[in-house]
């Protein structure tokens, strides 16, 4: 089996463009495909975001759907269903990442994003971090610092799980 190849920024940008051109029924189809192919991962996202504000949860689902589409467009030959037993390990690692982010926070500048260049999928995680702090989208809720960190942890877990489930 070939070694995993990180998804390129070009694939991320092309997928983002394609998804951004999608409307109503097509977005629903993408969501349905993601949930159908990755039931345990979808359940993880829904369960992990259940305590967030009602207007924040759809953002998590949308971003997880986009992440799945990025992986489908990437170099993997297939993406196996994610093994739900692996979530605890991913979460522990990502909780540690959040603790490092919190420890590096500066009150004057706000949240300092983690160094994503050492992650398994740096281009995908750079997209996630940028999407979480993006301003100007009237539909997207403004996130509190805690919501940002929680969603970063959940979505990085999605990325880690899909990376591991990808076959090359």
108's tokens: 């004057």
The pLDDT score that the predictor gives to residue 12 is 96
Task: Give, to the nearest 10 degrees, the angle between helix 39-48 and helix 57-73.
Answer: 150
| 2 assigned to some structural domain | no
How many angstroms separate the most distant Cα atoms in the chain?
48
C-beta separation of 142 from 132 below 8 A: no
| 1 assigned to some structural domain | no
The pLDDT score that the predictor gives to residue 36 is 95
| 66 assigned to some structural domain | yes
| 3 assigned to some structural domain | no
Number of domains in the chain: 1
| 107 assigned to some structural domain | yes
Pairing of strands 166-167, 78-79: antiparallel
The pLDDT score that the predictor gives to residue 130 is 87
> What are the residues facing 110 on neighbouring strands?
106
Domain with 21, as residue range(s), is 9-167
Separation CA 51–CA 56 (nearest Å): 10
CA pseudo-torsion sign 56, 57, 63, 66: negative
Per-residue DSSP letter, 86: G
Intervals of the chain under pLDDT 70: 1-3, 101-118, 135-139
C-beta separation of 99 from 93 below 8 A: no
| 90 assigned to some structural domain | yes
| 156 assigned to some structural domain | yes
pTM: 0.86
């Amino acid at each position: 089996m070939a070694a995993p190849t990180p998804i390129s920024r070009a694939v991320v940008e092309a997928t983002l463009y394609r998804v951004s051109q999608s409307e109503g029924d097509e977005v629903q189809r993408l969501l349905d495909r993601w949930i159908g192919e990755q039931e345990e991962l979808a359940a993880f996202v829904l369960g992990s975001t259940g305590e967030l504000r009602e207007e924040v949860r759809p953002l998590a689902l949308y971003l997880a759907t986009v992440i799945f589409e990025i992986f489908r467009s990437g170099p993997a030959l297939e993406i196996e269903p994610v093994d739900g037993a692996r979530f605890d390990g991913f979460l522990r690692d990502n909780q540690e990442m959040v603790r490092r982010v919190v420890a590096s926070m500066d009150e004057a500048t706000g949240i300092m994003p983690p160094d994503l260049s050492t992650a398994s999928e740096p281009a995908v995680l750079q997209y996630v971090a940028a999407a979480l702090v993006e301003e100007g989208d009237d539909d997207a809720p403004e996130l509190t610092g805690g919501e940002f960190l929680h969603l970063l942890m959940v979505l990085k877990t999605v990325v880690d799980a899909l990376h591991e489930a990808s076959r090359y």
